[in-house]
Structure 1
Amino acid sequence: MPLEAGLLEILACPACHSPLDDRTAADSPELVCTGADCGLAYPVRDGIPVLLVDEARRPA
């Protein structure tokens, strides 16, 4: 279930406050920070973004 466009416009990375990009894969949807120095990937569980830095995946 993709996130609504209006929701994506107001969401921001809790670590650096940059916009988030929806990277929805079939098995693991996530919101990825667009900040150049950040890049954290936040999981989306049951259609709800989990915007906790402790739950975010660090960039490779």
Structure 2
Amino acid sequence: MDTKLLELLVCPVTKGPLNFDRERQELLSRSARLAYPVRNGIPILLENEARTLSDEEIDKLAALRPAL
């Protein structure tokens, strides 16, 4: 995922920042508790395509980026 593109993208639900999980190829929204898939390098920012993040995943994400 291009870092410049990541800086421009926001969660479509909350308009908050996204973090990229390179291993799972997902964009993570802490505020919406959603993980959006990235397929063939293309972010799929549709709420119905996202999966819900677990409490453990939210805790890991909180450690990476403090709440705004």
TM-score computed with the length of structure 1 as normaliser: 0.83
Q: Distance in 2 between matches of 1:5 and 1:13?
A: 16
Q: Distance in 2 between matches of 1:8 and 1:39?
A: 18
SS at structure 2 position matched to 1:13: coil
Is residue 2:12 matched to residue 1:18? Answer: no
Whose helix proportion is higher, 1 or 2? 2
Q: Distance in 2 between matches of 1:23 and 1:59?
A: 12
The percent identity for this pair of structures is: 44
TM-score computed with the length of structure 2 as normaliser: 0.74
Runs of 4+ off more than 3 Å: none
Q: Structure 2 regions of 5+ residues with no counterpart?
A: 55-68
Larger of the two Rg values belongs to structure: 2
| Counterpart in the other structure of 2:27 | 31
Q: How many residues align?
A: 54
